[in-house]
Amino acid sequence: MKIYHYPDLLLLISVSFFGLFLTGILAISPPATQDLPFRKPVIGSIFGLICILGIMAVFSPRKCSQIFYCEKEEGSSRHSSKEGIVAFNNTSSIFGLKIVHGHHPNCENFSAHEFQIGDKTFCTGCAGLLLGGLIDLFGTIMYFSNNWQIEQESLFFIGIGIMGVVFGLLTPLFNVRRTILRLSLNAFFIFGMFSILIGADTLGQSLFIDLFLISLSVFWLFTRISLSQWNHKRICHACRIRCEFSRCRH
């Protein structure tokens, strides 16, 4: 399952990297605009709400990622086949919240996609989203509400943000196999969006640019999710074990 066989994914990637190119142009030569007194409260509220929604999505992966759920009943199950036995343990409870693991089967091919704490397993992508969302939410409060000044570091924040988005988008393409690296890159990807926003906001002080970057961040996130789903299909498609997720391979 080669990426060039999916023109829709190629389009998403192309638009995403073109957006990064525009971000660099805006950082180097921001347009002259008139600052508005309500810009920071409005942008902070919108981006903060997106962070909160992202954090909430971590606790509802079944609804947010349908690629491997396939109407599976909640709970644990085992499926045997001629090639072997694949076990699934798809629910965990943390702080009284029941988390359904519908992203990947509990098999060796997806060992880097989840990590275990005690007897509970968690998705590295969701954990990265949670960590990045919490960092972004704290940073949003500090920058947009507490007048955090970053004039001297604005270009640095934009550069770090672009790196975070690039690494985040490329992670599914290279199928990173180290759990801690996958988690870190996912968190860095989410932090990159915030870093770009505050750097561009400091330089441009433009409501329009901020709204454009927030929209672009949502698009980057959608592209990243689409690439992850393609990567999951690619891994499962190459597997010879017939399991209850096999009908999701295509």
Cβ neighbours of residue 115 closer than 8 Å, sequence gap 6 or more: 121, 122, 124, 127, 179, 183
- List, for the chain, all residue ranges whose pLDDT scores fall below the cut of 50: 64-89, 92-102, 249-250
In this predicted structure, what is the pLDDT of residue 86?
39
- C-alpha 74: how far from chain center: 24
Exposed, middle or buried, 189 (CB in 10 Å: 0-12/13-18/19+)?
Answer: buried
In this predicted structure, what is the pLDDT of residue 33?
73
In this predicted structure, what is the pLDDT of residue 30?
80
In this predicted structure, what is the pLDDT of residue 29?
85
In this predicted structure, what is the pLDDT of residue 123?
78
In this predicted structure, what is the pLDDT of residue 87?
39
In this predicted structure, what is the pLDDT of residue 88?
41
In this predicted structure, what is the pLDDT of residue 190?
96
Residue 30 to residues 25, 26, 114, 222, Cα–Cα distance (Å): 8, 5, 41, 26
For residue 182, give the nearest of 192, 172, 191 by alpha carbon. Answer: 172
In this predicted structure, what is the pLDDT of residue 187?
95
Exposure of 224 in the CB half-sphere (CA atoms within 13 A): 26
Q: Which amino acid is at 31?
A: P
In this predicted structure, what is the pLDDT of residue 67?
41
